[in-house]
Amino acid sequence: MDELLAVMPVGPKAFKGKAPLVMEFQVNKDLSPYLVTAAGKSKFIWLTKSRNGRVRAAFRTEGRENLFLDIIQEVSLCGRKNKWGNVHDFTESGLTDAIDHLRYYDINDIEVLASPAGLPFGLQVGVTITPTPWVPENMAVVVPKNRDYLGFVADIPNGSYLSVVHNPSRGLAVAVRHADG
């Protein structure tokens, strides 16, 4: 599966009349921080905790085609800043470290999302490597095969969408070649 998150289409019967601007979702309180879509100029908002086990996400109307890469970039920035240990160099050993990051949290059914061009190096750790159109050639993304662990995207028929990412510090790791490297 080349999706970053679980994708759930929301049918027109879910809304009476016009689609709402935001929706609230129940989340596990232990899976913070949360990255949710925001309204306006900001694409995302980080929430350090839920409100009584609930978070709100805003519907967006543009940018769905870049959503997954935008999420990866945002999680990578926050991961570096907060020293989560989930961002590594785009090398065989860096990708192995990214895989080990998820395994440290007992996530063993792992998938590596890579560019359709493949990886420029071998990988000896026995995980599934999935060619993924939205992943650039200088990056690999390590995620659980069960994308529900990481979050979801809700698409509605009018073209709007929202996303909720939970557990990004434990459930997502990246190997990336930096512009200076």
Could you read off the pLDDT of 79-137 as tens digits, one per residue?
Answer: 999 999 999 999 999 999 999 999 999 999 999 999 999 999 887 777 899 999 999 99
Q: Please indicate, yes or no, if residue 42 is contained in any of the structural domains.
A: yes
How many structural domains is the chain composed of? Answer: 1
Q: Please indicate, yes or no, if residue 91 is contained in any of the structural domains.
A: yes
Q: Please indicate, yes or no, if residue 20 is contained in any of the structural domains.
A: yes
Whole-number average pLDDT of the chain = 90
Kindly report the pTM of this predicted structure.
Answer: 0.91
Q: Please indicate, yes or no, if residue 44 is contained in any of the structural domains.
A: yes
CA distance 147 to 41: 27
Q: Please indicate, yes or no, if residue 1 is contained in any of the structural domains.
A: no
CA distance 47 to 24: 13
CA distance 102 to 163: 22
**What b/e readout covers 56-69, taking b as 16+ CB neighbours within 10 angstroms?**
bbbbbeeeeeebbb
Q: Which long-range CB contacts under 8 A does 100-103 form with residues at least 24 apart? A: 101/142, 101/173, 102/142, 102/143, 102/144, 102/170, 102/171, 102/173
